[in-house]
Amino acid sequence: MKLNKMIDHTKLGPAVTKDDIDRLIEEAKTYDFKSVCVNPIWVPYCQEALEDTDVLVCTVIGFPHGTHTINTKVQEAEEAVQMGADELDMVINVYQLKQGNEDYVRAEIAGVLKKANGRTVKVIIETCYLTSKEIALASKLVVEAGAQFVKTSTGFGSGGARLEDVRLMKDTVKDRALVKASGGVRSYEDAIRMIEAGASRIGTSSGVNIVTEGRKHSDTDSSY
């Protein structure tokens, strides 16, 4: 797969403007990224702007802390789909995971998956707050709930994607789910290291820089 089609071109945050979103959309069109990842309020606008392309519209659920109730996350997912979202990136309740409440975490993932109605769901486990044992447990729960991806980070926590965490996640899910590395992936070299560690998708606001750097490497398209 080409590198550009492994990138979720991302613009999230409380102060994002329409100009920011317009720039994100145009960059996604120019570089043919896999998706744009935006806050829910921008989903209809992005969907309309990208309807004649194969760039998907991804949005976030329970973002950024994951402390919404299950019902709230389920309602968010339902509304996001109604607005036209193609993919959903949801944040788990980290507290419940750390308390060992496996049924709760499975239930919230399953609830979002049901409302996703077949759309790809990427489950953010926020690795910066977890031990290695907890990362493995969270990854296992993602598989058991039936989600397509386990994702490292929101980018709003105390840290982002780390190679050792991506490897652990991939080792845990094997071929039963995919891994998305997100948070702090800013260069071509960063992206390639994450892919080699097991990531199938990269969440980044530096997609243009990554692909531009990648074009300097003659084997980019043949390798990824």
Which residues are tagged catalytic? 89, 151, 180
Give the pair of three-digit tokens for residue 198: 């097991």
Distance CA 159, CA 187 (A): 17
Distance CA 115, CA 70 (A): 12
Taking the CA atoms of residue 131, residue 132, residue 136 and residue 139 in that order, the dihedral angle to the nearest 10 degrees is 60
Is the CA virtual torsion 128, 130, 134, 137 positive or negative? negative
Identify the burial level of 154 via C-beta atoms within 10 angstroms of its C-beta, where 0-12 means exposed, 13-18 middle and 19 or more buried: buried
SS3 category, 65: coil
